[in-house]
Amino acid sequence: MRIITFLLIVLWSMLSFGQEENEGNIVINTTQQDDTYRAGGSIKVNAVVQGDLVIAGGSLIVNDSINGDLTAAGGELFINAYIADDVRIAVGRVTIDSEIGDDLVVFGGEVVLTKNAVIHGSLICFAGNIEMNGEVIGKLDIKGGDVLINGTVKETSKIVGEDITIGSNAKFYKEVEYWNSEEEIDFKNSLVDTQAQFNEDLGEEESDLSLTTFGTTSLLLWGFYIFSAFLVILVFHALFKNTFSNAVKGLEHNWLKSFGFGLIYLIGIPLLIILALLILIGIPLGLFATVIFLFSLLFGHLIAALLVVYYFRYQKEKDWGFWSVTFLALLCAVILRLLTIIPYAGILISIVILSITYGALTLKVLRSKKLVKK
């Protein structure tokens, strides 16, 4: 059990090390004159941000205006103030109760636009439950499970959902294409000098969004993958940029060592999980380890992409800033994705990439613990 506990501590440290300055509650009470990046348990924005705002955390609240873009990822998000430009978010639940000056792109579990919400650009939304009570000046493109439209859309609409409900306050001023499991739906008096048409092809697009075809079959899915990867990389970069920066120092002399430690992690953790699950008192620990291990596999290539970019940044002594590193890591992630879908060779490439990545991060943690003891 001591070995299991030790490896889990190392794994958890890899995910949380370098986060001390970001953890806890963050409150922005003074005007931010430039682009602002924050990550923490909860973030509350109570002052104007003159540039872009990038935030990641469990609970996110925006109570004052953002004069640039808003990019957010986390558990729950409330937007209660004006956003001057684009909004791109990936959250469990979001409530929008304000005006957005340009496009709104949302990936989430539950999305709610109140009657006070005004989107001056287009609304693009992929979510489980979607409730739109506000006004969209641009186009509407929605894919969800339960969809309620009870607001106004000025341009064309494309709506895909298992269950679509059109509320009594809904108004569509341009053509509507839709698909739902029950085919024909009642648009009541919502169509203003226009028409709605059931499109069976939209249902086929919906079925394509499956794990078996994800990222490999169409430009639409590649776009979905790239945007999702961008948001994940953005979160990891904001949370752990110091960890990545320090992990690549001396990596050129420790390739084999990093690969060995990472291989032990990839092989050893599943074996220890099985052992823990066989022991009654180890079941909670085993379940926890399973979640963390699956998490590390799911996002391993994105973490590896960040590590690769930081390695070249360190080796070439480049003065790459936050956004340069983020977009270069996205490009690297796409390349790694293409390499790993090669039959047979892709599996080997994945093992090597993940082994070196998690091995390097493990060595970083062990070095840091030695320094603390000294």
Predicted confidence (pLDDT) per residue in 38-82, tens digit: 876 788 999 999 999 988 777 899 999 999 999 887 778 999 999
What is the CB neighbour count within 10 angstroms for residue 319? Answer: 7
**What is the predicted pLDDT for the residue at 221?**
57
DSSP class of residue 281 equals G
Q: Residue 311: name the closest of 256, 371, 254 by CA.
A: 254
3-state secondary structure of 303: helix
pLDDT interval class at 262 (50, 70, 90): confident
CB 49, CB 33: distance < 8 Å: no
Q: How many Å apart are CA 133 and CA 169, to the nearest integer?
A: 8
Report the share of the chain in percent with pLDDT over 90.
32
* 207 confidence band (pLDDT: 50, 70, 90): very low
- Amino acid 282: pLDDT: 61
Mean pLDDT of the chain: 81
Of the candidates 65, 149, 140, 133, the one whose C-alpha atom is nearest the C-alpha of residue 104 is 140
Q: What is the DSSP pairing of strand 123-132 with strand 196-198?
A: unpaired
Q: Among residues 285, 219, 177, 233, which one has the least CA distance to residue 39?
A: 233
Q: Which has more pLDDT, 116 or 211?
A: 116
- Contacts of residue 360, Cβ cutoff 8 Å, sequence gap at least 6: 247, 248, 251, 254, 258, 262, 307
Task: Give residues with Cβ within 8 angstroms of 367, minimum separation 6.
Answer: none
What torsion do the CA atoms of 89, 28, 99, 93 make, to the nearest 10 degrees?
A: 40
- Residue 315, pLDDT score: 85
**C-alpha to C-alpha distances, 96 to 81, 103, 134, 208, 303, nearest whole angstrom:** 9, 13, 9, 29, 31
Please give the Cα distance from 69 to 87 (Å, whole number).
6
Kindly give the pairing relationship between strand 53-62 and strand 196-198: unpaired
Type and span of the H or E element at 177:
strand 176-180
pLDDT at 259 over 60: yes
The predicted-structure confidence for 132-187, as pLDDT tens digits, reads as follows 999 999 999 998 889 999 999 999 999 998 889 999 999 999 999 999 877 778 89
Helix axes 2-16 and 255-278, enclosed angle (nearest 10): 120
Residues forming beta bridges with residue 37, ordered by sequence position: 54
Contacts of 371 (CB under 8 A, 6+ apart): none
